[in-house]
């Protein structure tokens, strides 16, 4: 029952945070400053999820092949702006480092 209440509460919080912006703007376009700011929300959320998981998988800082693969993937992302090339570049770097014995 406790999990159900948490689920309902989070669904309500998600709905309210999304609905308030939609209701406040109505049919009008959001201001250009808000649109510019909202473009950065998805990458910021993704970074907030991925970076701690990559840098501290066991609860402490580990600089293994997964970190260097993440750096290579970030370089691919900045250069190509393609999710496919980002993933392929990061995975290729990871497997190459593992084949070379980097731990």
What is the per-residue pLDDT for 96? 95
Cα separation of the two ends of the chain? 44
Mark whether 98 and 48 lie in a shared domain: yes
Q: CA-CA distance, 63 to 14, in Å (whole number)?
A: 35
Q: pLDDT tens, 46-98?
A: 889 988 888 888 888 888 888 899 999 999 999 999 999 999 999 999 999 99
- For tokens 């501290």, what's the residue? 56
Mark whether 75 and 34 lie in a shared domain: no
Residue numbers of the domain that contains 62: 40-103
Mark whether 44 and 92 lie in a shared domain: yes
């Amino acid at each position: 029952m406790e999990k159900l209440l948490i689920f309902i509460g989070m669904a309500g919080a998600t709905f309210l945070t999304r609905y308030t912006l939609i209701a406040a703007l109505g049919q009008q376009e959001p201001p250009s400053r808000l649109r510019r700011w909202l473009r950065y929300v998805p990458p910021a959320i993704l970074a907030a999820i991925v970076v701690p998981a990559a840098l501290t998988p066991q609860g402490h800082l580990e600089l293994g092949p997964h970190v260097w693969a993440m750096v290579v993937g970030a370089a691919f992302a900045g250069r190509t702006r393609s999710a496919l090339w980002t993933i392929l570049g990061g995975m290729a770097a990871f497997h190459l480092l593992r084949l070379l014995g980097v731990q």
